[in-house]
Every structure is written in structure tokens, then in C-alpha cells.
Structure 1
Amino acid sequence: MIFIGIALLISVGLALLISADAGSVVGLTQSQTAQLLPLVVLLIVFAGGLFTRRRPARELLTNLGLWVAIFVVAGLSYAYRDEIVGVAARLAGEMQPGVAMVDAHQGTATFRRGIGGHFEVNATINGHTTPMIFDTGASAVVLTIADAEAAGIDTSSLRFTIAVSTANGTGRAARVALDQLEVGGITRQGIVAFVAEADALDTSLLGMTFLETLSRYSVTQNSLELTD
């Protein structure tokens, strides 16, 4: 019966908390609901005790304290759910810099600076996940030949006639149009990109042909925010 009491407590508490967003619960205001919740807790606890074998007062008080603690934790988790989600997302971003912290309501994707000092971005090109480096100095999205092939681009038919300057020196690239490029939930079609010839580039670059389609992008000390 103790498990039934706990289940009832959690179910009723969550139902009341969720319903409170609508402004009232069975005709009660949020303030009245908040005053009623402790009484509901006590009612369930003592009702559960009536249907179990007689227990020492100390054990009943211990169980009561445990159930109240569970309810308080559940209530705080609900009340601060936005902050908790934000902290969890930031922790995930620190552990995996290329993974975006997406805010669908604001239309933003935020990335944390990597250990090497760059902003690493996991983009999806034609359905293939491609690690890239955010680079405002690149006039276009630039792909390594390996990333281009993984994204389904036929590199054997490309003509590498465009001179480009990369971290490895001067090289040549071919112009292509990407069917789809998605970064942190922000999707674009037909983005112009360059495919660098073999050994000309170590990592693909997220350059201006994508960035200029955004309404805003901003860089702070340790974070990059892209806004659709």
C-alpha cells in the first residue's frame, strides 16, 4: 500500500501543477491550489497509513518526511524546468562543442567554443552529418573532398578551377550548390559552396554563403549564436 500512496501522491501533485498553467484547477485559483497541495499530501499519507499494518510513530514520520521531500523535489523541478533544461543543454554543449543548444521558440542555435579555440559545428549536408568550423573569413561554405563525397556529391565530375586561400596555403576548389544544409535546426536549400581539392583543407568551413542567410549571428567569448 505504501507504493499506492506514493503513486497517488505523485499523480495528484503533477496533475495539479500541470493544470495550474491554465489559471485554475477545478475552479480554484493558482494561489488556492498552492494552499491546497499540502493538505492533499497529508490526506494521501494518512489515508495510506489507515490501510497498512500498524507502524511505529517514528516510522510513520520518516515515511511522511520522505513523501514530502519527493513532492517538494517534483514541485521544484516543475517550477524551474526551463532553467534545468537550460543547464542540461549547456552541459551537453560543453561536453560536445559541435552539438547545438537549440531554442525552437527563439529560432536560435548556440554552440560552445571548442578546446582548440574554434567554434565547431555539426552540420547536416544532404542528410549527412558533417563537422565544420565557423569561419566568417570564408566567403562561402567550403567542404573537404571527403565530406563532399560523403554528402553524395560526385567529385569526379567537378572542375577545380577556382583559386582559394586556406590554412594549408593556396589551393583550388570547385563550385557546387548544396541540396540542403541544416545547422542547429536552421535549414537552407541551394546554398552555394566550394569543394576544395584533395589535401587543400583539413576541416570543412561554415562560411558566409550560409551565414548571410541568417537574420543574425553573434559571437561572445565562449559562445556562438545563430538566429534563423
Structure 2
Amino acid sequence: MRQIYGLSLAVLVLVMIAAGLTYLFEFPALEETFSDTSATPRIVALSAIGFVVMASLVFGAPRAGEVLRAVVIWGLLGLVLVGGYTYRTELVAGGYRILGALAPGMTVPQTDGTVAVMRDASGHFQLEALVNDNKVRFLVDTGASAVVLTERDAQASGIDPESLSYSVPVSTANGRTMVAPVNLAQVSIGSISLSNVRGFVARPGSLETSLLGMSALSRLSGWQVEGERLLLKP
């Protein structure tokens, strides 16, 4: 009898949790049925009452204390579900912020082929890309006309420092400096791969982080910022 009681109770609890999660994450089949978000508290309350009624039918009339305990537990669960649904946008944005802080530079491929980059704790978008099969950390800079590598990153990517000619003047946040033009055979950002990308190499000590500028971004079909994410479209 105890096994039947436990199994039946577990089934009831799982059904109630599945129903709540299905509504919370907007399962398509229920989208029209529950399109009115004002009905959410009533749905949760009715679910709690339904649970108590079903339990009474299966296990006999419950004691007053058991009924009260069930109402409190399901009421709290209902509040959590309603709060999660109401603030789902903020929760998702907070999750992206945490991901950006824990794994800055990580690129996340999306189902539609785009690549998402999370904003880091400083409010910028940084990412790890492959330049000629070498890992390089970039700061995404839409104000830079081209990809700009530090001398260290350029050398690690197979560019001979002796072949560089610092002949192109550019303006930076630290003033004017000279950079050396280069052609990057391959730049890969997650699942996105670009070939023959125009770039520059900065003078030693004039740039702290390599920049991913418009000579790469303009090769994409599009890019946009959505909250805490930068979406790069191949």
C-alpha cells in the first residue's frame, strides 16, 4: 500500500510540475489557450486545489493539517512560477551576464547558424577567434576600420615581424600611430570562417588587445546587439 501511495503521489507531483514548466516556457500547443497572462495566478491556484482534490480521491479524506500544508507548498510553488514567468526577460539577461563574466570571450553557436557573444563584466564584447589557426582574443570595435593585431598576436599567427612595414598612419584613443598592413588568410569566429581578411599590425606597445574591426564585420551578412548578446550572422 505504501508503494502504491508513493507511486501515485509521485505521478501527481510530476504531472503538476510538467504542467507548470510547460506553461512557463510557452509550449506552442498551449500558447493560444493561455495567451492571457492575467490568468496565470488563477491557473496555479486551481492546479493546487485540483491536486488536493485528486489526492483526497486517491488516498481518502486528508487531514486538515495535510490540506493546509499542501496549499502552502503549492502556493509557494505557484508564486515562484508566476515570478519566473513575469521576469523571464530579466532572468535571461542576468543569465547572459553571468555567462559573460564566467567565460568572457566564449562564442555560442545558435540553431540558425548565427554566433552569439556575451557582454563581459566591463560592458564590452570580447571573443576568441582563430587567426591562421592561432587563438586570438579580440575586442569587438565597430569604430575600427579593419582587424588590428598586436605584434604578439601577429607573430603567434605566423606573421614574420621582420616583414612588417609600419607605413599606415591611424588615429587611436591614445593618439596617432603607425600600423603595418597585412592580409589574414583565415579568421574563424566559432562556426563562421572568413578568408583573405584585410588587417593591420600595431606597433609594439601601442595596443593592449587585438581589435575585431569592420574589415571582418562587414563580411558578415549582418550583426546586431540584443540585450547582453552580440549576434554575428554568417
TM over 0.5: yes
Cα distance between partner residues in 1 of 2:201 and 2:106: 24
Alignment partner of 1:146 is 2:156: no
Q: Which residue of 2 aligns with 1:89?
A: 96
User: Which digits, 9 at most, give the CA deviation of each residue in 1:103-127, with x for residues without a partner?
Assistant: 988x796765865xx8352141246
Provide closer, same or farther for how the CA distance between residues 37 and 64 of structure 1 changes in structure 2, counting only shifts above 3 A. Answer: closer
- The 1:57/1:46 distance shift into structure 2, 3 A limit, reads same
1:76–1:187 distance in 2 versus 1, CA, 3 Å: farther
| Structure 1 residue aligned with 2:210 | 204
> Do the aligned partners of 1:160 and 1:196 also contact (CA within 8 Å) in 2?
no
1:14 to 2:18 alignment? no
Letter in 1 for 2:30: A
Tell whether 2:135 aligns with 1:125.
no
Q: In the aligned structure 2, how far is the partner of 1:142 from the partner of 1:60?
A: 67
Aligned-partner residue type, residue 197 of structure 2: I
Contact 1:9 1:71 in 2 (8 A): no
The amino acid that maps onto 1:194 is F
**Is it true that 1:41 corresponds to 2:45 in the alignment?**
no
Distance 1:64 1:189 in 2: 62
Question: How far apart in 2 are the matches of 1:15 and 1:202?
Answer: 48
Counterpart Cα distance in 1 of 2:181 and 2:90: 46
Distance 1:210 1:227, change over 3 A: same
- Aligned-residue Cα RMSD (Å) equals 4.6
* Counterpart Cα distance in 1 of 2:232 and 2:199: 20
Taking structure 2 as the reference length, the TM-score comes to: 0.62
Structure-2 separation of matches of 1:14 and 1:218 = 30
**CA–CA separation in structure 2 for the residues paired with 1:14 and 1:217:** 32
Q: Is 2:189 the counterpart of 1:182?
A: yes
Q: Which runs of 5+ in 1 are unaligned?
A: none
How far apart are the structure 1 equivalents of 2:199 and 2:152?
A: 14
Deviations 1:78-101 (A, max 9, x none): 465344212322454467665679
When residues 39 and 9 of structure 1 are mapped into structure 2, their CA distance, relative to the original with a 3 A threshold, is same
Aligned equivalents of 2:231, 2:162: Cα separation in 1: 31
The 2-side partners of 1:8 and 1:111 are apart by 35
Counterpart in the other structure of 2:3: none
1:133 Cα deviation (Å)?
Answer: 3.1
Aligned-partner SS, 2:126: strand
Within 2, Cα distance between the matches of 1:142 and 1:70? 52
